[in-house]
Structure 1
Amino acid sequence: MSEQNPYETLGLAKTASFEEIQAAKQKLSAQYEGDRAVVDKLEAAYDAIIMDRLRQRQQGTLDVPDKIRFAETSQKKAQASQPLVKSPELPQWLVNLRDTPETNTLYTALGVNGAIAIAGIFLATDLTSTLLTVALIANIYLLYRKEQRFGRAALIGIVALVAGIALGSGVNAILNSTGVTVAIAPEHLLLVLTSIVFGLGTSFLR
């Protein structure tokens, strides 16, 4: 085989694809398998072509087929669109429990519970239990209007009542232990805090 450029050595045009280059190298290597000098020359030509293609690619002078270019671009876009840190997803039951209230619903829930809290402040402390019962019934009704599911409304209402009483009792205990006095009786403070929990729960849960 006479002195030729790498493409001529493999019998290829300079526009040959990578698959054609590989196929030509394998075919000629098999053809001249017994001639080590020729096989070495074919290997050298193949390596020279690969290095030339790499140089052209780095310089941007290599004509990349559209389908390959499009695939690379799509892959880069897909990788760029993926968030670096995947946001944790909320459990479905919690998603179903949340609510974005309409303005009227929000005002109604806060207004009813605010009225109960204000009324309780001006009434005797022994009526606190009665007012809490009234608040529970009112909030169960408001919750029931959203989904028409009484069991769920009752459960949310009871949980809100327990949470409110726990919050009020905790605040009263802290105030007593620190010697801080407030302008209203402990029972009234408990009612106010429970009403706040009721108002928020009825507004943003369903």
Structure 2
Amino acid sequence: MTELNPYEQLGVTENSSFEEIQTAKQNLKDKYQNDPPILESIEIAYDAIIMQRLRLRQEGKIKVPEQIRFPEKTVEIKKPSLILDNPTSKKVSLWFNDLLYQPSRREIFLSGIIFLLLITVSIFSDTNEILPLLLTIGVGTSFYVLYRKQKIFWRSIAITFIGFIVGICVANILFNISMGIGLNITLESEQFATLFTFCFLWLVSNFIR
């Protein structure tokens, strides 16, 4: 990113508004939140743009928002609230936000193709002997997708293992309930459990940080 000029680094142009620049900066910070060198280059590019616009403002060439020219005048005004802050709920909210992950379309697409192929082979397989191998591939795929997000080996192992166990258990419960109420499921219990586990592992690996 450092080889580009500040505007190109943030993905904006010299005609972009202050709000657009701020939005671009925040989006990049969210995207590269785990990469300190890139975050630093983003801040440097943003500061360079602000300094350049202040200089142009002094020359009378552009108009700079009031909060940039006079930051000491910017006062945060909080609206009165009838609901008291709850530290416990805030901690739960932060923990929940840190746990969830918003994958890109490319991440969803690539992992989706792999799991879709595994599901297809499972459905059209004439024997259940191949299912353990397919499950092994699915578990490995889930681990890889989780690991490449934060590079934490044991955390990725733990989440994958928990997702696998939960998927198998829930699948067996659902299959038994379906058979008990008379639903006609054409798949065998092993196939049903495998397919459900693949879907569950795909969700876990993509949407858990």
Q: TM-score interval w.r.t. the shorter chain?
A: 0.5 to 0.7
Larger radius of gyration: 1
User: Unpaired segments of 5 or more residues in structure 1?
Assistant: 1-76
Q: Identify the residue that residue 81 of structure 2 maps to in structure 1.
A: 82
Q: Identify the residue that residue 163 of structure 2 maps to in structure 1.
A: 160
Cα drift, residue 122 of structure 1: 1.2
Structure 1 pair 85–122 and aligned structure 2 pair: CA distance change class (3 A): farther
Query: 1:63-78 to 2 correspondence within 5 Å?
Result: 78=78
Measured in 1, the distance between the counterparts of 2:151 and 2:100 equals 16
Identical aligned residues as a percent: 19
After TM superposition, the score normalised by the length of structure 2 is 0.56
Q: Identify the residue that residue 190 of structure 2 maps to in structure 1.
A: 187
Q: Identify the residue that residue 19 of structure 1 maps to in structure 2.
A: none
Q: Identify the residue that residue 112 of structure 1 maps to in structure 2.
A: 114
Cα drift, residue 115 of structure 1: 1.6
What SS class does the counterpart of residue 182 from structure 1 fall into? coil
Q: Identify the residue that residue 205 of structure 2 maps to in structure 1.
A: 202
Query: 1:34-113 to 2 correspondence within 5 Å?
Result: 78=78, 80-82=79-81, 84=83, 88-89=89-90, 90=92, 92-113=94-115
Q: Identify the residue that residue 126 of structure 1 maps to in structure 2.
A: 129
Residues matched between the structures, number = 130
After TM superposition, the score normalised by the length of structure 1 is 0.57
Partner AA of 2:203 in structure 1: L
Partner AA of 1:112 in structure 2: I
Q: Identify the residue that residue 140 of structure 2 maps to in structure 1.
A: 137
Contact 2:115 2:202 in 1 (8 A): yes
Cα drift, residue 177 of structure 1: 1.5
Q: Identify the residue that residue 176 of structure 1 maps to in structure 2.
A: 179
Measured in 1, the distance between the counterparts of 2:204 and 2:80 equals 37
Cα drift, residue 99 of structure 1: 0.6
User: Unpaired segments of 5 or more residues in structure 2?
Assistant: 1-76
What SS class does the counterpart of residue 103 from structure 2 fall into? coil
CA deviation string 1:113-172 (max 9, x = no partner): 222111111112222222111111111011111111111111111111011101110111
When the two chains are superposed, the root-mean-square deviation of aligned CA atoms in Å is: 2.2
Cα drift, residue 93 of structure 1: 4.0
Measured in 2, the distance between the counterparts of 1:198 and 1:121 equals 17
